Amino acid sequence: MIPMQTERVAHRRGTAPHQPGRAGWRLVVFLLWAAALAPVGAHEDNFVEIRQLTANIAASPDNPRLYLRRAEMQRLLRHWHAAEADYRRAAELDPKLALVDLAFATLWNDAGQPEQALVLLDGYLSRSPAGPEGYAERARSNRMLKRWAAAAADCAEVLKHTPDPDPEVFAAWAAVLIDGGERAQALEVLNRGIARLGRVASLAMKALDLEESMALHDAALQRIGAMLAAPGRKDSLLLRKAGILLAAGRGDEARACVVLARQQFNAVPEARRLTAAGRQLAAKIDRLETQTAKTTSTQNTNHPPQ
């Protein structure tokens, strides 16, 4: 899990003073701009909590965590000025509250100003290097700035500091590498995720996409073979396999695979075939059947369809 959202980090505590720095006036401009665009939607829970926090602050006006929490609620409501005021008050009360920098950095990234975010994040990470949130936000900044290597390095740090990572951690890292033209490395990252988390469908499908795009036909066929061995429907996977075989010049096998896909599709209960996705799949089978009928195998093969 890459915790891009500030509320996820609101409870973590930093160790160094808040330094708004030269970016401050631009942030004010941004806040004014954002306030003008703020939606009017009610968010009843947040209002309730803000009322409660306001009462708590009245009772404990020197507690920075209360201001920080209220700032987060204000931010969720897009009450930018109120959020900024509470962040700043929290920082005044506890100059070691580095979290404020992370919160402001998130706002800068949201505003499409990653350079400003980087300044704050570098400071934040120098003081709070142990959590994944700062690295994730900095990876976001670096990605927006097309600093692919730096972004990938930050993604590696996110994984390093996340004891129980979600697929999102690996997917985000791979995406940065793909953007930077490092597809082989991206594939390695995805395989690393699969090795760690199990045969996760999202990572496996992304890896398959990459292998296909890199014309790694054997690797792709091996991967899809393993997926076909698992329980469940086979039709869409068989069709995908037929496409790979076709791209690999193995037309006869592709044709046989399409036949299998059609058989499997026809065996699927009506409730699942008579959907928009089912109809699209049927149309794909038709198209690939036509395509494979026109294609002759360019090479002999010892790979029977599964």
Residue numbers of the site for other proteins (CB under 8 A)? Answer: 1-4, 7-9, 11, 39-45, 48-49, 52, 166-168, 171, 193, 197-203, 205-206, 232-233, 236, 268-272, 274-278, 280
Looking at beta carbons only, is 13 or 17 nearer to other proteins?
Answer: 13
In whole angstroms, how close is the CB of 50 to other proteins at the nearest point?
11
In whole angstroms, how close is the CB of 274 to other proteins at the nearest point?
4
Q: Residue 77 corresponds to which amino acid?
A: L
Is residue 192 within 8 A of residue 27, CB to CB? The reply is: no
Q: Which residue has the tokens 């505003």?
A: 111
In whole angstroms, how close is the CB of 91 to other proteins at the nearest point?
21
In whole angstroms, how close is the CB of 276 to other proteins at the nearest point?
4
Looking at beta carbons only, is 202 or 295 nearer to other proteins?
Answer: 202
Looking at beta carbons only, is 167 or 251 nearer to other proteins?
Answer: 167
In whole angstroms, how close is the CB of 299 to other proteins at the nearest point?
30
In whole angstroms, how close is the CB of 267 to other proteins at the nearest point?
9
At residue 252, φ and ψ (nearest 5 deg) are: -65, -45
Looking at beta carbons only, is 17 or 278 nearer to other proteins?
Answer: 278
Looking at beta carbons only, is 39 or 304 nearer to other proteins?
Answer: 39
The Cα 306–Cα 302 span in angstroms is 12
Looking at beta carbons only, is 144 or 197 nearer to other proteins?
Answer: 197
Looking at beta carbons only, is 233 or 303 nearer to other proteins?
Answer: 233
In whole angstroms, how close is the CB of 12 to other proteins at the nearest point?
9
